[in-house]
Structure 1
Amino acid sequence: MTFSLVARCASTGMLGVAVCSSSPAVAARCAYARAGIGAVLTQNFTDPSLGERGLELMSLGASATQAIEILARTASDPAYRQLAAIGPLGAPATHTGGLCLQATASAIGIDCAAVGNWLAAGDIAQRMVEAFTASQGHLAHRLLIAMRAGLEAGGEIEAVHSAGLKVMHEQPWPIADLRIDWTEACPITELEGLWALWEPRMPLYLARALQPAAAPAEDLA
């Protein structure tokens, strides 16, 4: 009951993930990323441990393809799991088990991969990849463009209620980790609004973490 995307910015090295679902708090369970290492999605009958395991494999030198192959071979009940991964270099990779929820899809681009289940249309993952590839700007902005494309292509069979995105760049913490854990409105629209609020403040919060003596005490008006 989820559609999602892992992606990287080829020019900055940022890595990120975005996800949307009819279930609550989807990003808390499904989205994983580490700066300089990769981004991993684990969904469908979600096993959150696979996100951290995928990142650990890539930190030890596995490519995204190798990490997904290992997870698909060694995970408990792999037929129920849907996964995606991307590293700083190389091809992204996906896995969709044979017992996943109906209406699954996956698509791989040069710098992104999309996966989904319980989808309202068969081309949603491909539309997300195309939208991301055609987009420009900050990685978080591009992730949101891709998610919007997936929603407008049909999204889930059921109404969506939660969404989130995570972007990593150079630091061990996310520069953006934004979530809509539940809403009766459109979670992607609310996430877009949250990004618009966060983006201009992001340099300030980074400066406070790295150079607090030089950072202003005031937030933006």
Structure 2
Amino acid sequence: MSRIQCPRCLRPQTHCLCELIPCLESRTRVLLLQHPSEVGHALNTARLAALGLSNAELRVGEVFEDLATLLNPPGYRARLLFPGEGAQLIETETETGSGPDLPLLLVVPDGTWRKARKLLHLNPLLAQLPRVTLPEGAVSRYRLRKAPGPGALSTLEAITQALEILEAPNSFAALLRPFEALIEGQIEAMGAETYQRNHGNP
């Protein structure tokens, strides 16, 4: 018998995260393009980001037929948050001197690195966007997935850090509250011994 699910956060009703999800405003618009394989994942951080930001949209798919429209909302300039050749370090608006300019549409592919690259391959308009990347040295709190390399963050963590840089001194730390609760709940359900054996952290 399947457990009753919260229709908003998609967690079991007994572990609903909605009370912890903020509703934060941002000048930056966030467009999350989620690979379908991530939708049913217990740690669906892209959904938490979309729920926690009033100026965010989550789309699920491999090919987005209306991508040209999604990437050109009036009053924004699109940037792809993804490392790679030619990616510029993300900066505050005061650093770039672009205060009066259009705010960013931050386009964030969500999936494993392989699936995210597939999204770029299947949607050439994405690959053509100017890229921005985060400073090196970030440490993920995502203790339940093996990071593919140093500085690898979950989608929610990457968005939070990007917004805190772009819109300093505004804080977006509240976005991480349901994420932390989700991880703690998973570790509790797993049991400390199993967690230590599989993940090697206290």
Structure number with higher strand proportion? 1
Query: What is the TM-score of this pair, normalised by structure 1?
Result: 0.32
